[in-house]
């Protein structure tokens, strides 16, 4: 019998239809993947399942009983727990407090029992073989990947019958992602249901028993994973066949050096990186997570303090803060890792997010030209296919992948020609991924210089011209054309061999 | 990609930032507040004889207690990420009710005191309800209720006056082990705080101030938290009103406004974040003591009393500077 069965599920936000008569059914003991384009309604669906959002219409059944949780507590009481895409963590609480939030063990005085809390946390980490995490650390000091692990722990701590993972792997480095995939199988083997949302076909392939495809808020199809090909899935997801994911790689790099970095150091992780990025080049950055990639991007953008020398288009440059970095065509623009933290103002509209940092481009003798602004915004929204009701929709209400597109558009509008792309396709659907890669190559052909980090190895292999592999905060190897492969990157990342 | 047993990924992270730096940075605003208190006390002690005696501690605590009580409620609201201006109204109303209703009979006093506390809580709870139900700004809602309560207080007692029994006025002179009752109250308050912040309720209030959306997704009923938070603030404001009548011996329909901004200032000086999620009552108490001692300082310096707000402002600026510096450095270290 189906553990969960949903039909006719509809949810509207004003004029935007997030779900329209969606159907879904899954049984205990399976990993059920939920796939679809950005804005297809996946997150809305799981928010309804977990009681955070109420549907307008629809019939939900849990084990044959009507199921309409009025809040996340109610869903949890019935054994449904979600690992949310936007994370549900409290920045000012410690890791362990977050994991057991509102379910903390208590003393006779009704205060939280710190010792028991620690013990339960360590037991949980042990039981599921968690990657190393310090239970006492305050959450706001953690990296995005570590936060994602905490969110996963929080979901597991509820010991749910239905565990929902909404793009839980997208922020994890390769090893941790693999660990999570294996864990997912284990949980399903215990007779529980895992609903798994991901834009990475490889992951879906590796673990899903069945999969359901959403498009524009409706269910397109449900398949047994082994009975359907990747192409069929993608075609049903985006409504047309995907011609190719990775673009053709024509070398467009010139001799001119756009960015020259010498002995860049920041914090304890970036310990002296040196490299050159040329005009028209896409330069990949790889390596195990935590070996200075983030610090490299942050310090090049002036968002964290660093020493060392940076030359931009041949001129020595001091980048003291992000505003410094952004100036004009000779500037540097960044697609950051932390969307709500650095990239987006969630309570501002799509239009404002796109144009706030480049307001100068729309002013005419000090006056704002609304017309010019509207035209550019429309161009960007169409170009990136940002799925928003109107440009006035608040950025915080966009789907995760569409938020990422807005950040991309914001960066493009700055006109800076040195682009720092830190995992720009995180949470982006396959169709758009292909477009973003094509866009990167097109920009390179127009003389842009692009530094590109990705947590997805195949992207590093197929998109950039060369790949820098960072190890312990330095460039351990530079893999040129023809020498880039997943294996070569991994080897350079872990082995002490000069390349 | 092939998947077998779940294996624990090996540690790949290089050395972490030094933990104590983060610890120190987090407490920088509080430490700066302590430093400022020391400076104020040192100046005061240099100009005035007998500052470092138990008597002086008793007196100063007695003088600061109204503000400390009001600021305790304010601290809870600020940690929730809100603000409560209505405490001005609750304090005024509390004093006029006490000054018109208290009689020599202790039972009457106890009953009316309980009623005043209940009114305080109810007003706050109503604030919280309005804020969540109508999704209104706390600033506006509590501003409105301040105005309404102020009007009611005026209707009950148009000018300063009324009275309370003599034994009630003597409250702060009672001593146990050489410490006056306000000092014992303060000790009790701090013990309460250490308990409260470790309860689920205390943690939930802090969490909601830290990130409301996350709290909601974790199952917190935001409306319920608002009712409790503002209710507690009203309760502490009512307690401040009762205590205030032991100091003034009378009611005043306008006196509450003198505590609105200072209650916020005391908390901010003590390192409570206006953005919610962070703060500690110890800091607020220090802030309130600083603000009170500045009054003494102006007196012993024999300068115009108008210097008092000037000095308070400067101290507030220093405190705000300290927190924003700490915040920025912490940001730089994050991730
Ligand atoms: N609070 C809201 N207000 C307005 N529109 C919303 C709100 N929440 C979601 N939407 C809209 O509903 C649609 C579906 O969003 P949802 O987050 O479910 O997509 P998704 O499938 O999870 O996409 P992604 O893969 O990008 O995460 C989007 O168009 C989004 O803009
Ligand atoms: Mg989503």
CA A84 to ligand 2 center in whole angstroms: 9
Looking at residue B7, its pLDDT comes to 47
Count of domains for chain A = 2
Residue A145 and residue A264 in one domain: no
CA A18 to ligand 1 center in whole angstroms: 6
Q: Is the Cβ of A54 closer than 8 Å to some Cβ of chain B?
A: no
**Where does the pLDDT of residue A366 fall: very low under 50, low under 70, confident under 90, or very high at 90 and above?**
low
A-chain residues within 8 Å CB-CB of B330? 140
A-chain residues within 8 Å CB-CB of B15? 268
Picking from A207, A238, A269, the residue at the C-terminal end of a domain is A238
Distance, in Å, from the CA atom of B256 to the CA atom of B248, rounded to the nearest integer, reads 13
**Contact assessment for residue A192 and residue A223, using Cβ atoms and an 8 Å cutoff:** no
Looking at residue A408, its pLDDT comes to 85
Looking at residue B51, its pLDDT comes to 82
pLDDT above 90 for A452:
yes
Q: Is the Cβ of B12 closer than 8 Å to some Cβ of chain A?
A: yes
Residue A232 and residue A134 in one domain: yes
pLDDT above 90 for B269:
yes
**Where does the pLDDT of residue B9 fall: very low under 50, low under 70, confident under 90, or very high at 90 and above?**
very low
Residue A166 and residue A311 in one domain: no
Residue A161 and residue A189 in one domain: yes
Is A85 within a domain? Answer: yes
- If contacts are CB pairs under 8 Å, which of residues 248-277 in chain B contact chain A? 277
Residue A154 and residue A292 in one domain: no
- If contacts are CB pairs under 8 Å, which of residues 345-404 in chain A contact chain B? none
Q: What confidence tens digit (pLDDT) does each residue in B130-166 have?
A: 999 888 899 999 999 999 999 999 999 998 988 888 8
Is A464 within a domain? Answer: yes
Looking at residue B155, its pLDDT comes to 95
Q: Higher-confidence residue: A230 or A329?
A: A230
Residue A168 and residue A311 in one domain: no
Looking at residue A360, its pLDDT comes to 67
Mean pLDDT in residue range A234-249: 82
B-chain residues within 8 Å CB-CB of A175? 9-10, 12
- If contacts are CB pairs under 8 Å, which of residues 306-335 in chain A contact chain B? none
A290 and B334: CB-CB below 8 Å?
Answer: no
Is A401 within a domain? Answer: no
**Contact assessment for residue B80 and residue B229, using Cβ atoms and an 8 Å cutoff:** yes
- Which residues constitute the domain of residue A318? 257-331+414-494
Is A389 within a domain? Answer: no
Mean pLDDT in residue range A156-171: 93
What is the model's pTM? 0.83
Residue A66 and residue A16 in one domain: yes
Distance, in Å, from the CA atom of B265 to the CA atom of B313, rounded to the nearest integer, reads 9
Closest by CA to A406, choosing from A385, A437, A433, A375, is A385
Picking from A208, A238, A268, the residue at the C-terminal end of a domain is A238
Is A442 within a domain? Answer: yes
Residue A170 and residue A314 in one domain: no
pLDDT above 80 for A363:
no
CA A403 to ligand 2 center in whole angstroms: 10
Q: Where is average pLDDT lowest: A108-117, A425-434, A442-451, B81-90? A: A425-434
**Where does the pLDDT of residue A496 fall: very low under 50, low under 70, confident under 90, or very high at 90 and above?**
low
Nearest to B3 among A176, A181, A289 (CB): A181
Q: What confidence tens digit (pLDDT) does each residue in A114-154 have?
A: 999 999 999 999 999 999 999 999 898 888 899 999 999 99
**Where does the pLDDT of residue A348 fall: very low under 50, low under 70, confident under 90, or very high at 90 and above?**
confident
Q: What confidence tens digit (pLDDT) does each residue in A42-81 have?
A: 999 999 999 999 999 999 999 999 999 999 999 999 999 9
Residue A224 and residue A281 in one domain: no
A-chain residues within 8 Å CB-CB of B81? none
Looking at residue B234, its pLDDT comes to 97
pLDDT above 90 for A347:
no
CB pairs under 8 A between A and B: 137
Mean pLDDT across chain A: 88
Is A352 within a domain? Answer: no
Looking at residue A48, its pLDDT comes to 96
Other C-beta atoms closer than 10 Å to the C-beta of A137 total 17
A90 and B207: CB-CB below 8 Å?
Answer: yes
The ligand placed nearest to the CA atom of residue A11 is 1
Chain A's closest residue to B5, CA to CA, is A182
Task: For residue A86, give Cα distances in angstroms to A309, A325, A335, A387, A497.
Answer: 36, 28, 18, 18, 39
Is A383 within a domain? Answer: no
Q: What confidence tens digit (pLDDT) does each residue in A16-41 have?
A: 889 999 999 999 999 999 999 888 99
Task: For residue B159, give Cα distances in angstroms to A191, B109, B156, B162, B169.
Answer: 74, 22, 9, 9, 20
Looking at residue A410, its pLDDT comes to 86
Residue to mutate, A20, A37, A43, A396, ligand 1, most ligand atoms under 8 Å from C-beta: A43
Residue A175 and residue A287 in one domain: no
The answer to whether the complex's ipTM is over 0.90 is: no
Picking from A178, A207, A238, the residue at the C-terminal end of a domain is A238
Tokens of B43: 């100046």
**Where does the pLDDT of residue A101 fall: very low under 50, low under 70, confident under 90, or very high at 90 and above?**
very high
Looking at residue A123, its pLDDT comes to 96
Distance from CA of B306 to the nearest CA of A (A): 39
Residue A194 and residue A322 in one domain: no
Report residues whose beta carbon is within 6 angstroms of any ligand 1 atom.
A 13, 16, 18, 36, 38-44, 85, 387, 397-402, 427, 429
Tell me the CATH number at A70: 3.40.50.300
Q: Higher-confidence residue: A343 or A25?
A: A25
Q: Which atom of ligand 1 is nearest to the CA of A398?
A: 31
Between β-strands A282-286 and A449-453, what pairing exists: parallel, antiparallel or unpaired? parallel
pLDDT above 90 for B237:
yes
Q: Which long-range contacts (CB under 8 A, 24 or more apart) does A222-230 make?
A: A222/A24, A222/A25, A225/A33, A230/A201, A230/A205
Residue A220 and residue A291 in one domain: no
Looking at residue B2, its pLDDT comes to 40
Is A499 within a domain? Answer: no
Distance from CA of A377 to the nearest CA of B (A): 29
Looking at residue A307, its pLDDT comes to 86
pLDDT above 70 for B129:
yes
Tokens of B319: 């405190």
């Amino acid at each position: 019998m189906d553990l969960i069965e949903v039909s006719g599920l509809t949810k509207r936000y004003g004029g935007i239809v997030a779900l329209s008569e969606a159907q879904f059914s899954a049984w205990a003991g399976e990993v059920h993947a939920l796939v679809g384009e950005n804005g297809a309604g996946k997150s809305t669906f799981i928010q309804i399942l977990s009681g955070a959002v109420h549907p307008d219409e629809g019939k939900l059944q849990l084990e044959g009983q009507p199921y309409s949780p009025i809040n996340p507590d109610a869903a949890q009481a019935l054994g449904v727990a979600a690992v949310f895409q936007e994370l549900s963590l409290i920045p000012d609480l410690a890791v362990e407090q977050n994991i057991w939030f509102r379910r903390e063990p208590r003393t006779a005085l009704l205060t939280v029992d710190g010792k028991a809390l620690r013990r339960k946390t360590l037991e949980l980490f042990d039981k599921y073989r968690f990657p190393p995490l310090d239970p006492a650390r305050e959450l706001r000091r953690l990296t995005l990947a570590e936060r994602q692990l905490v969110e996963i722990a929080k979901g597991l701590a509820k010991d749910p019958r239905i565990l929902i993972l909404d793009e839980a792997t997208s922020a994890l480095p390769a090893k941790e992602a693999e660990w999570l995939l294996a864990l997912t199988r284990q949980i399903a083997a215990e007779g529980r249901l895992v609903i798994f949302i991901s834009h990475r076909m490889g992951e879906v392939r590796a673990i899903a028993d069945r999969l359901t495809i959403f498009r524009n808020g409706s269910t397109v199809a449900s398949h047994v994973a082994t009975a359907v090909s990747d192409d069929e899935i993608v075609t049903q997801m985006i409504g047309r066949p995907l011609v190719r994911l990775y673009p053709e790689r024509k070398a467009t790099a010139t001799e001119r050096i756009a960015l020259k970095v010498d002995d860049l150091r920041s914090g304890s992780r970036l310990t002296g990186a040196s490299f050159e990025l040329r005009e028209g080049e896409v330069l990949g950055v790889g390596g195990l997570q935590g070996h200075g990639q983030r610090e490299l991007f942050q310090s090049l953008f002036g968002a964290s303090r660093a020493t060392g020398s940076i030359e931009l288009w041949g001129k020595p440059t001091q980048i003291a803060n992000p505003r410094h970095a952004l100036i004009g065509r000779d500037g540097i623009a960044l697609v950051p890792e932390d969307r709500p933290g650095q990239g987006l103002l969630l309570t501002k509209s799509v239009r404002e997010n796109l144009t706030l940092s480049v307001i100068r481009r729309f002013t005419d003798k000090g006056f704002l030209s609304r017309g010019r602004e509207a035209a550019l915004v429309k161009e960007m929204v169409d170009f990136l296919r940002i799925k928003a009701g109107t440009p006035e929709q608040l950025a915080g209400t966009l789907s995760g992948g569409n938020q990422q597109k807005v950040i991309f558009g914001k960066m493009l509008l700055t006109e800076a020609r040195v682009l720092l792309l830190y995992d720009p396709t995180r949470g982006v659907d396959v169709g758009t991924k292909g477009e973003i890669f094509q866009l990167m190559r097109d920009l390179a052909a127009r003389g842009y210089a692009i530094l590109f980090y990705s947590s997805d190895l195949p992207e590093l292999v197929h998109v950039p011209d060369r790949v820098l592999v960072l190890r312990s905060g330095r460039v351990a190897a530079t893999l040129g054309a023809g020498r880039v492969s997943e294996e070569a990157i991994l080897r350079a990342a872990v082995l002490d061999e000069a390349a | 990609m092939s998947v077998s047993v779940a294996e624990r990924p090996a540690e790949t992270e290089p050395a972490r930032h030094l933990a104590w730096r983060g610890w120190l940075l987090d407490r920088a605003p509080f430490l700066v507040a302590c430093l400022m208190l020391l400076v104020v006390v040192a100046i005061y002690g240099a100009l005035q004889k007998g500052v470092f005696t138990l008597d002086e501690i008793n007196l100063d605590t007695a003088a600061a207690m109204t503000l400390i009580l009001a600021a305790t409620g304010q601290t809870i609201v600020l940690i929730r990420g809100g603000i409560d201006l209505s405490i001005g109204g609750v304090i005024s109303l509390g004093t006029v009710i006490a000054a018109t209703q208290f009689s020599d009979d202790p039972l009457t006093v106890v009953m009316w005191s309980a009623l005043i506390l209940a009114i305080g809580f109810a007003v706050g709870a109503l604030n919280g309800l309005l804020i969540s139900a109508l999704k209104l700004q706390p600033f506006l809602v509590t501003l409105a209720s301040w105005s309404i309560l102020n009007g009611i207080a005026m209707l009950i007692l148009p000018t300063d006056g009324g009275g309370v029994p003599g034994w009630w006025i003597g409250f702060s002179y009672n001593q146990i082990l050489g410490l006056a009752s306000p000092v014992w109250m303060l000790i009790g308050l701090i013990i309460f705080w250490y308990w409260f912040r470790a309860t689920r309720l205390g943690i939930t209030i802090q969490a909601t101030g830290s990130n409301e959306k996350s709290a909601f997704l974790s199952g917190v009923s935001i409306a319920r938290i608002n009712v409790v938070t503002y209710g507690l603030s009203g309760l502490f404001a009512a307690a401040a009103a009762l205590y205030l009548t032991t100091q003034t011996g009378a009611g005043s329909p306008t006196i509450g406004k003198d505590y609105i901004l200072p209650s916020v200032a005391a908390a901010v000086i003590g390192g409570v974040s206006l953005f919610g999620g962070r703060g500690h009552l110890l800091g607020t108490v220090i802030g309130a003591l600083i603000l009170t001692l500045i009054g003494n300082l102006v007196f012993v310096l024999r300068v115009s009393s108008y210097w008092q707000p000037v000095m308070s402002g400067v101290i507030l600026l220093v405190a705000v500077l300290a927190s924003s510096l700490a915040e920025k450095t912490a940001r730089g270290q994050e991730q």
